[in-house]
Each structure stands twice: as structure tokens, then as C-alpha cells.
A and B are shown apart, each in its own frame.
Chain A
Amino acid sequence: DTGVSQDPRHKITKRGQNVTFRCDPISEHNRLYWYRQTLGQGPEFLTYFQNEAQLEKSRLLSDRFSAERPKGSFSTLEIQRTEQGDSAMYLCASSHGQGKPNNEQFFGPGTRLTVL
């Protein structure tokens, strides 16, 4: 257990429905990251926050995806109008962040999304 928690761990939804995932980072970490991982592939970066500011978004993050970290603590990732291609493991990670000598990212267990 790295101290990063994600909820839910599994989500099954029908195509077209909206889903929201939550990530709680390690408390003293000011950076929070979202990645997506499909079977047999390495994790792909989606976006990251420094405190409440979203500093970078991947081209993978289409208009149907939105991430927030309103108080600089937990974060949510919402997918609107889900498609079967959204089926994947969604991983959250946190780190100390800018200016820290060690900025290794600690990952949560992931949320596995299945879109039927």
C-alpha cells in the first residue's frame, strides 16, 4: 500500500453513461497525476496537477474527459458519454512535486473501467 487510494476499484458501465473516479493522494504530496493503461501496454499519461492547478494535459484527454482537484487534495476524473474504447485501468499517482529532490511518483491501485 503506497498511501494513494482510488475509488471505485472496478466500474462497469454501459456505453453513453458518465462515470467519475476519485483519487486520494499521499497527504503531503502536492502533485497528482492521472494515467490510463490498456491491456499489455504501459501506462499513458493523461494529466497532472500541482496543488489545484492543472498544469499539463495529454492529447489523449479528449473533450469527454475532465479532471479536477478543487482544494489541492483529492482529485476526480470524469468521463462523459463513455465509449467502449474507454475501457482501461485508470491510475492515479502523487509526488512531492517541483523543487523537491526526490519527485518519484507513487501509484494507487487503479480503477478498472469496463464499458459494455
Chain B
Amino acid sequence: DAKTTQPPSMDCAEGRAANLPCNHSTISGNEYVYWYRQIHSQGPQYIIHGLKNNETNEMASLIITEDRKSSTLILPHATLRDTAVYYCIVRVADAGKSTFGDGTTLTVKP
């Protein structure tokens, strides 16, 4: 699995967009980008995933660069409940394990 690099922490004002970056410069052509988040003391929660194209669902948007070496998770209107650790993972879709790094701790402030 490709290694990912994320900033250790970020702050965001409530109501503003939170943009969380992830570098995955060694990603392979068949590897997807997955995002999860983990609120304190809970299990990780799946957010979104993509291969090449930008993706959007009810929780977030995923922007993947054309060379696929980096991506950005966008929470369009962050709320206090979005405070969590966000993990970016790259893996083949039907692979077994997911390799988590240390993630980005996002703190949404009033």
C-alpha cells in the first residue's frame, strides 16, 4: 500500500469549509484514495473514496489531482461535531488491510 502524508493538526472555524490535504506520491494506478474519520473513543467512520475523478456525497467532497499524487477532503460547512482525527488511506479496492497513518486532528472552533 502506498504511504500517505498528512499534517498532524488543523483548525477550522465553525461554518467555514475545512480542507484537509493528503499526499500520496507513490500511489499506484489501481489504488483508490479512502478517507475515514475517528471521533474520540469511537471506531473509524467511512467518509468517501475515489480513484481519479472528484467525488461528492452527503458528508464531503474529495478532490484528487490529475497526477493522483495528492488529494483534498473538503467538509463544506464544518460543525463542532466534525472535530475528529481524519485518516487518508490508499489501497487497491479489494485489498484486505488498510494501512492507517497518524491522520490529521481537525479542531472546529466556534
Contacts and interface: CB of A to CB of B under 8 A. Distances in A.
Interface of A: 2, 4, 31, 33, 35, 40-45, 48, 55-56, 58, 91, 93, 97-110
B98 A105 contact: yes
Nearest to A100: B94
Contacts of A99: 94
Nearest to B43: A107
B44 A91 contact: yes
Contacts of A100: 94
15 contacts: A4-B43, A33-B96, A41-B102, A42-B101, A42-B102, A48-B97, A55-B96, A56-B96, A101-B93, A102-B49, A103-B93, A104-B49, A106-B46, A107-B45, A109-B42
A105 B46 contact: yes
B99 interface: yes
Given A102-B49, A103-B94, A104-B34, 14 more contacts: A2-B45, A42-B100, A42-B101, A48-B96, A56-B96, A93-B43, A97-B94, A99-B94, A101-B93, A103-B95, A107-B36, A107-B46, A108-B43, A110-B43
Contacts, number: 61
Given A56-B97, A99-B94, A103-B93, A42 B87 contact: yes
A44 B95 CA distance: 15
Nearest to B100: A42
Nearest to B46: A104
Nearest to A105: B98
A100 B49 CA distance: 14
Contact of A33 (B36, B42, B97): B97
Q: Among B34, B85, B100, B103, find the residue whose CB has the most chain A CB atoms closer than 10 A.
A: B100
Contacts of A97: 94
A41 B85 CA distance: 10
Contacts of B45: 2, 107
A56 to B, nearest CB: 5
Q: Which 3 A-B pairs have the closest CB atoms?
A: A42-B100, A107-B43, A45-B97
